[in-house]
Amino acid sequence: MLIDPAVATELCPRCQNRLMTDEPGEPPWCERCQWNLEAFKPDEHAGWLRRRLERLDHRWGFGLSMALHRSLAGGRATRPGVSKATLLLAAVTGALLALMLLLMAFGFWLIIGYPWPAKILGGLIVLLALLLRPRFGRLKPILADFDEVTRDEAPTLFGLIDRVAAEAGTPRPHRVLFGAEWNAFAATVGLRRTRVLLLGLPYFQCRRPQERVAILGHEMGHLANGDLRTGLLTRPALETFGLLAGLFYPDHGARARDDDLLGIGLVIYLAESALKPVMYLVSYLFFLAHLGTNMIGARQSQRAEYYADELAARVAGSEAVASDLDLDLSGTGMVTVLGARSRAGLGWREGVEQARADGLARLPRRRQLSLRREASVFASHPPTGLRRELIAQGPHHDPCVVLTEAEAERIDAELAGLEKRYRRTIAHSW
């Protein structure tokens, strides 16, 4: 339920605590009992239907995140196995594959056996069939966009990766890549199932040594945590309908220009305007299917993320994972710090440490607000505040892999060339 800002000075109706009202753009809520924390304001510039779909996604995502967290509270997250969601999504993938083959066969039948009007229709059907093909990610675009680091170039880093993988019981990545992003991810891509670990260099280097171990533990946990979003039989079901929804969603259309002598732009614009109602309908139907399949898989995918956090805690220690998640809560602010310090020719780490100290008092509020801001059935992770709470309240882990300051400095030296180049990249784009 949304509360009118005009009454934001009222006390919480549940516990009589004063409502929080000083977060710009956020409906008031109670920090003590979390009353009204589920309130959500959709994009006010979106259309009527899109706003309601956003509310539906948020309501389902919030309820799912809270229910899953309650079921795991106080215990250890385990690796999800084959579930009803797994079998159902695999069945959807199988149906999509069968439909693709049928459409492909029908399209070629029209192309081969009938005159030109049917051949054109057959070609369109073949194109539609290709849109339904399973997608398993591609290695080539990743290698083109990021910088690969080899074992010979960074032996200390790879030694740390080997130690983390051994303690976590996960496979080692085939490729280790770096970029200038404030982010990190691991994925298995392509039919050959190539394991890729990508680390944003600022994201990795601006962390304390033991937090770096936590990042590696969590990201390599993605290679073995049973996430439905990476499975060969489940990933197509979770992605295909969203892709089709985006393809059919109409843009603003082509506009006729003064130099458009043939009027082609005007014809395209008028044709698209006439088809817009149908395109909107088809797009939203695909989006509803996308929402439904992700709702089926969301619980198991979030459980897999909790398991990746558990692996990280076993390797790096509970305290390192908790502090690492707290830093993630300040992601947007840290990007600002990186840009400003890169432009000024200053070091990243000192600025990040200062920003962490300045934001310490706001951490409890940021943890709570993450439950509201990150609630979605499409979210790649459970809300950060819930992940941090589960680690802090669960069984304590001492670190199995310890990264010393000396080792961290050697890793920094191995990556010094990339750091210098990325500093220029960030400064130029800021």
Q: What is the pLDDT along the chain (430 residues), one digit of tens a residue?
A: 444 444 445 899 999 999 988 888 888 999 999 999 999 888 887 778 888 989 999 999 999 999 999 999 878 888 888 899 999 999 999 999 999 999 999 999 999 988 888 999 999 999 888 888 888 788 888 888 899 999 999 999 999 999 999 999 999 999 999 999 999 999 888 888 899 999 999 999 999 999 999 999 999 999 888 888 888 889 999 999 998 898 888 864 444 444 444 455 566 667 667 788 888 899 999 999 999 999 999 999 999 999 999 999 999 999 999 999 999 998 778 989 999 999 988 889 999 999 999 999 899 999 999 999 999 999 989 999 999 999 999 899 999 999 999 999 999 999 999 999 999 999 988 7
| Angle CA 422–423–428, to nearest 5 | 95
Q: In degrees rounded to 5, what are phi and psi of residue 10?
A: -70, 160
Report the SS3 class of residue 285: helix
203 CB-side CA count, 13 A? 22
Residue whose entry in the numeric block shows the structure tokens 């051949």: 119
- Ramachandran area for residue 205 (φ above 0: left; ψ -120 to 50: alpha; else beta): alpha
Measured CA to CA, the distance from residue 325 to residue 158 in angstroms comes to: 23
**Bridge partners, residue 195, by sequence:** 188
Per-residue confidence (pLDDT) for residue 121, from 0 to 100: 92
pTM, 2 dp: 0.87
Task: Identify residue 297 by its one-letter amino acid code.
Answer: G
CA-to-CA distance for 202 and 415, rounded, in angstroms? 11
Nearest CA-CA partner of 229 in 300, 153, 307, 125? 300
Residues 6+ apart with CB under 8 A from 65: 302, 371, 375, 382, 383, 386
The whole-number pLDDT of residue 139 equals 87
Residue whose C-alpha is closest to residue 136's, from 194, 65, 215, 60? 194
**Structure tokens given for 355:** 């920003």
Which position has the token pair 């995502």? 61
Q: Which of 129, 294, 307 is nearest to 226 (CA)?
A: 307
In whole angstroms, give the CA distance from residue 151 to residue 417.
15
Q: E-assigned strands of 155-249?
A: 175-179, 184-189, 194-200
Distance CA 284, CA 305 (A): 29
Instruction: Report the C-alpha gap between 184 and 218 in whole angstroms.
Output: 10
* Interior angle at CA 329, CA 393 and CA 308, nearest 5: 55
Query: How many Å apart are CA 83 and CA 47, to the nearest integer?
Result: 37
Contact 235, 294 (CB under 8 A): no
Asked if residues 359 and 336 have their Cβ atoms less than 8 Å apart, the reply is no
State CA 222 to chain mean position distance. 12
Pair 229, 297: CB distance under 8 Å: yes
Q: What is the DSSP string of 325-375?
A: HHHHTTHHHHHHHHHHHHHHT--HHHHHHHHHHHTGGGHHHHHHHHHHHT-
CA distance 386 to 325: 10
